[in-house]
Every structure is written in structure tokens, then in C-alpha cells.
Chains A and B, each alone.
Chain A
């Protein structure tokens, strides 16, 4: 059994032939790992990189304007614009559409601004209530009570040829791009 160190320099400070090859081999494998790491990291973070610059958002139709009576708030559903073959029903999304008057709308995300549970609309009291932690919002989406720190998330909307369309495609969370798309504060209750 030889106890001579393989990688360490020889006593006179020069590098042995074998030690040099071991170092070279490690370096070579490091290089190969780096070459492979680029696509691996790219794959791992693909869901993030694609999402830059509103990459997931696009305009989707919610239905004819006439489907939404003036002064009322109705539940509408749409299919998420970004779909993968295995998504099943999860790409069907609900939202609350409030037609104020004419072409004036507010389209609220179904997700509570607190932690994302589905809020329900109560016509009689004019409130959205969340079943999870008790958040409540007024009819214009502004915060009424409970743990949410802000009003409901709103989708930007457009009315084109009598069809209501919204810009959607991302789960509304406090940090999501769409949270800042509709920056104007909802009017006070």
C-alpha cells in the first residue's frame, strides 16, 4: 500500500505527473458540469423567465356586455390564456364582473387579497366575503374589514365591439405583475 499523496505537490514544490492529470480531470469534469448546468438551470427557471415583461398576460373575452346588467355584479368564467395539455379544469378561472353603467366596469379577481381564497358576492348587503379568514370588501372592491391589507385585485378591461375583455393569465397575488397593472385605487365606498 503506497501512502504517497496523489494530488499533493512533490517535496521539491513541483507537481507530479499524476497529480497534474488528476487536477486536469477534475477541471475537465467541472467544465462539463458547467456546460450542462446552463440548460438545466434554464429548464428549472423556465416558468420564471417566461413570465418576464407580462409574458403570461393576454386579453381574454368574458362575454357580451349585455350579459352583465347595469348596477349588478355577476360571476363570470374564462379560460386561462396559457394552457398546458395536462391542466384539466384548473385553467378555468372565475371572476366577479361589476357593471357600473354603460361601458364602465370593474372586474375583480376571485382571489381574496389576503391569502387567495375564493370570495363570494352578497347582493343584498353589497359585500364580498371571504370564507377563510373573514376578509370583506365593498361592492367597488375596496377593503371593508378583516385581515386583507388592500382591496380586491382588478383585471384591466376593455370593451371591444360589445364584448368585455380582460387582461389575465396570472394568479393574482400581492406580488404578481397584475397586482400593479391596475394601479388606480378603487373609489372610496
Chain B
């Protein structure tokens, strides 16, 4: 033991780091911050370090070349011992990191920690969030599979909508005119050098500022932040009622960090690595690309926005959102910290969380996407063709063959792009059905040029049978008057 102490002294005589480290570790923190609510920042840092380590491990095998990246991932999954596990830890680590950073941000906001004098800590945190999302997207690109390839195309399409500079931005992003080798290489450089470098610098600043300014005290309703008095009040609080961070508060951080690492490892073990999906071969077009979990909400938004709103929302939305986040501590730098006295803050968080959650949930079903194989794969349920006439059955065939099923469901199978047609006859009369089929409208293509009159007749006759038992199909009353209730022409009155 004496030997170790001597060696330690020898090093510290030269490094002179022991004193500042001890000072940082034992700096007094308000006692009530030794809380399970205050563990998310250190957890994010822990996951970041885990990502650095597993990322370096993956780089030992991964080849950042458009021709070989996909096969090097296959090798990691199947050939290299435990390669699959390291990939899985890195992939799940990324999901956890995004989630923890978001939770950390919500906690900080609800506890008023963004207020004076911690405005800059918050602003740097906003940049850290953006970089984390940047890592998530570029990481998805490095998993150079079909989803990555077409995901890049979506990114390029969005970037190209920037006025005037659009085409330039696209070429800069792709490193050339198309998604190819240079694209992967530059995303590799971003993911492995540029963003991690910035992350390390900004995380260091972020942590340094927490040490210098002190951790945010537990907010009490009525204890209002004032620029003139806050700092002296805080120092008084930590001087009189504070406790050293180590060991008073740190043990909860340690336990939670360990728990998170084990949770990531458990997910990696149970669910395995993400992909890669099909090869990044643009001639294989039988694919329906979907983004990773944390961008699903965007996928939903892009499907649901009205076309005219899309470009403005895509270009202005992020700018407004980022500006709002950056300006937040300057607009509300003083006043109440407690969430109990900030109903608008709580409602805003709830609204954003519910919106993002709903969009994410919807994107898992993607009701807006046609089911490309429904027309050939999904059967027409028996009850819709049982006891039908030859013409009606012919109509059911037209219904399948013309791919109506890709967007319309029958008996809960088929696409959900358009309305379900299980009871369409109750909603639309014969004339309305004919008009809708031939002219389209309301987000449905016009089928007039692709259906012969005979096919249209058969199809409409079939659609007219689609109504619940005991519920009559819709009828046009004027037609009854003109043609008679039976649909037959009323015979001219006898002379």
C-alpha cells in the first residue's frame, strides 16, 4: 500500500491534479439534490462513454466503403465472435442515449434549471441534443442497408427544398451527384470524428459549468429566482445546508448508471443488433424504407401534413423549434422554478410528449402507406362473396385485380390509405360510387381510363353489396321517383 501511495505522490507532484479533482468531487451541493430525479445527466454521460467504447470496437471491423460496409456488418453479425453483441449494445445504446437526453432535458426544464445563471448550460445542452440526434441519424446511415440508402434519399429530398441553395446542399451532403461511396465516407467522418469531437468538447463544457455554477437546487414553490440575489442565496444554501457531492449524492448516480448499462446489455442480449436489412442496391425496389425509432414521428408528420404546408414546415419548423429552445432561458430567466407554479410549462411538455408519442405510434402502423401486396396476397373474406351473383363476383375480381385493396381494407385486411369499404354501400349511392371510381377525388386516383364500362359496372355492383346485414344500402330518393322503387323504369301511364 505504501508503495502505491508513493507512486501516486510521485505522479501528483508532477501532474498536480489530485487537489482540483478532490475539490470538484467534494464541492457542496444542496442536500435535496441528492435525488433520483438528478441522475439523468450522469446517465447520459455514462451512455456516451459506452457509445465511444463500443464505437471504437466496431471500427476495428467495420469498413466505411459503399461496396463493403454491408458485408462487413454481416461479418460482425455472423463471423466475428461477439460482434453481434457489440453491434447490439451500440444500437441499443443509441436508443437509450436519445431517450435519456430527452428525459434529462424535460427534468431540467420542469425543475427550472435553465433559469439564471444557468442559461448557457441549457443552450449548450440544446446543442448536445442536436448532436445526439445527428449521431443517431449518421449512425443509421453507417448501417449501410436499404433503409439507410433510401433514408439518405429522403434527407436529400428535404435538403433540396431549401430555396436557391437546395441543389448545392444536396451535393455537399451526398459528396457527389448521387448516394454512393463518397456519401458513406462523409457520414463516417461525421459520425466518427466530427460530431464525437464536438460532443466531447461540449460535454466537458456542460459538466464544467455544472461544477462552477453548482447543481440546480430542488425547486420550492414561492422561492423565486432574481438575478440580483440568486447567487448569494444559492451560496448561502450550500454553505449552510450543503453536503459534499461525493459521497452524499454520487451514489445514486452510480447506481442508476450501472442500472442503465445493464438495461442496455439486457436489451442487446434479448433483442440483438439492428439489421442490416437488405443490401444497399438501388435496383432492388421492393422495399418500404422506415426510419429508426427516434425519427418515426417525422415519418408520420411527413405523411400527414397537407402538401402545401410541407416544405414551409420542414424548412421553418426546425429553425423555430431550435430558436425557441435557445431563447427559452433568456425569455424566462427569472421567476418561479417549481413545476407546481408553472402550469404552461407542464402543459407544453405534456403536449409535445403526447404529440410525439402519437406520431411515433401511428408510424409503427403507417396507415398512410399502401399495402403493396394486398391485391395479390389478401383474400376477399368469404362473407363478402357468399351467395353473390356472377356479376357481383366479377366485381370482386375487378376489385382485387385493379389493386383497390392496396389502399382499401375489406374485413380488416388490406391497406388503410383510403377508408375501409366493409360498409361503403351505406355511405355512397350507386351514382356516387360510379363517380368516385371513375373520377377519383378526396385523395383517390381517377380510375376512368383503367376500367372498361363492363368492369366499372361489375365493380360498382359488388361495392353495392358491401353493407352490414339488416342495414339497407344508400339509395338516391330522386332515382326512386324517376325510375320506380324497383329501379325499373316506370311504365308510361295507360292511355
The chain A residues found within 8 Å of chain B, CB to CB, are 45, 47-48, 51, 56, 75, 77, 80, 82-94, 110-111, 114-120, 122, 124-127, 129-134, 136, 138, 144-149, 169-171, 173-177, 189
Contacts and interface: CB of A to CB of B under 8 A. Distances in A.
Interface residues of B, number: 69
Contact of A124 (B159, B166, B279, B401): B401
A89 B445 contact: no
Given A82-B178, A90-B280, A116-B154, 8 more contacts: A86-B65, A118-B282, A118-B287, A122-B406, A132-B150, A133-B299, A136-B370, A147-B302
B373 to A, nearest CB: 10
B303 A134 contact: yes
Given A84-B180, A90-B282, A174-B166, A149 B307 contact: yes
Interface stretch (B101-109, B169-177, B198-206): B169-177
Most buried by B among A48, A86, A138: A86
Nearest to B450: A126
7 contacts: A84-B182, A86-B182, A115-B158, A124-B402, A129-B406, A138-B449, A145-B443
Given A171-B156, A189-B449, A85 B283 contact: no
B226 interface: no
B172 A125 contact: no
B285 interface: yes
Contacts of B166: 173-175
B446 A144 contact: yes
Given A88-B68, A90-B66, A117-B289, A47 B174 contact: yes
A148 B178 CA distance: 21
Interface of B: 65-68, 149-150, 153-154, 156-162, 166-168, 170-172, 174-183, 185, 279-283, 285-289, 299, 302-303, 305, 307-308, 310, 368-370, 372, 375, 401-404, 406-407, 417, 440, 443-447, 449-450
A86 B153 contact: no
A111 to B, nearest CB: 6
A146 B443 contact: yes
B185 A86 contact: yes
Q: A interface, by DSSP: helix, strand, loop or mixed?
A: loop
Contact of A115 (B157, B168, B372): B157
Contacts of A138: 445, 449
Q: Ordered nearest first, which 5 A-B pairs have the shortest CB separation?
A: A88-B67, A175-B166, A116-B153, A175-B160, A144-B445
A92 B65 contact: no
Contacts of B178: 80, 82, 90-91, 93, 169-171
Most buried by B among A82, A132, A176: A132
Contacts of A94: 282-283, 285
Contact of B176 (A47, A114, A144): A47
Contacts of A51: 167, 171, 177
A145 B368 CA distance: 12
Nearest to B451: A125
A75 to B, nearest CB: 7
Nearest to B417: A134
Contact of A82 (B168, B177, B183, B445): B177
Nearest to B445: A144
Contacts of B154: 115-117, 132
A93 B403 contact: no
A118 B181 contact: no
Contact of B307 (A75, A117, A147, A176): A147
A93 to B, nearest CB: 5
A101 B372 CA distance: 29
Contacts of B440: 144-145
Contacts of A149: 307-308, 310
B369 A133 contact: yes
Contact of A93 (B160, B282, B310, B407): B282
Contacts of B450: 124-127
B144 to A, nearest CB: 9
B282 A189 contact: no
Nearest to B371: A131
Contacts of A110: 282, 285
A85 B181 contact: yes
A146 to B, nearest CB: 7
Contact of B288 (A85, A92, A115, A131): A131
Contact of B149 (A77, A83, A90, A133): A90
Contacts of A93: 178, 282-283
